[in-house]
Amino acid sequence: MEWTTRRLNTIIETCKFSTYLELGVSSGDTYREIDCNSKVGVDPFFRFDWRNYEEAGAELYEITSDDFFSQDRDRQFDCIFIDGLHTFEQTLRDLINAMEALKPGGAILIDDTVPIDAFSAMRSQSDAVIERKKAGLQGQFWHGDVYKLLFFLHDFYRSWDFTTIIGSDNPQTLVWNRGGVSRRSSICNRISEIDDMTFETFRDMRANLPECSEAEALARFFSSFR
């Protein structure tokens, strides 16, 4: 996706990052366009001829993200892009593992954090497509319930900063270690509230979450380590 590669390459170039990890490579459209000395791509089922893919510094692993992290616990990365299975549980596991694998001063970009409607927020992609069609609507948009992750980040990872990029192409959430504990107040009282959250609740409570333009999000990240 053009906006994804633009954001990631801007971060990598500006910070002079040399190591990149992508979780959820699929057809490789984003992975191919990332300009970094060392690129690792992980996907349980690549949708291109990954065995014959040749690029200096490129590594591809056709395994689950859980298996990748369990097999290589000590490897660290400057920049990590999370675009795997669009469920809260799996994306949360990917994020926690990514946090462990992130070098100091590094960045994590998460895709699909803002569903466009109640259909795209369904946990099942097939259900989302079927129900959208029943409603007389077109498209196969599916973001899953990744949006719940934003409330988990806000309430339970206060030493990490984040903001969701809006207003220019697809919304994505940028995450980095702020190096200190935030004073932000909790939005949800219990983890179960987050797990049970519906799209309608997300829509009503979204104003409590940090959002900004792409330029402002990148500026906030860059200024954090100066």
Query: Encoding tokens for residue 30?
Result: 């984003």
Dist. CA 189–CA 171, nearest whole Å: 26
User: Of 93, 109, 97, nearest to 15 (Cα)?
Assistant: 109
CATH code at position 198: 3.40.50.150
Report how far apart, in Å, the C-alpha atoms of 186 and of each of 20, 66, 203, 208 are.
32, 29, 17, 10
Domain that includes residue 150, residue range = 2-223
In the prediction, which pLDDT does 72 show? 77
Residues 108, 99: Cα–Cα separation, whole Å? 8
In whole angstroms, give the CA distance from residue 52 to residue 50. 5
The structural domain count of the chain equals 1
Low-confidence ranges of the chain (pLDDT < 50): none
pLDDT recorded at residue 226: 66
What pLDDT, on a 0 to 100 scale, did the predictor assign at position 118?
86
Which pTM value belongs to this model? 0.94
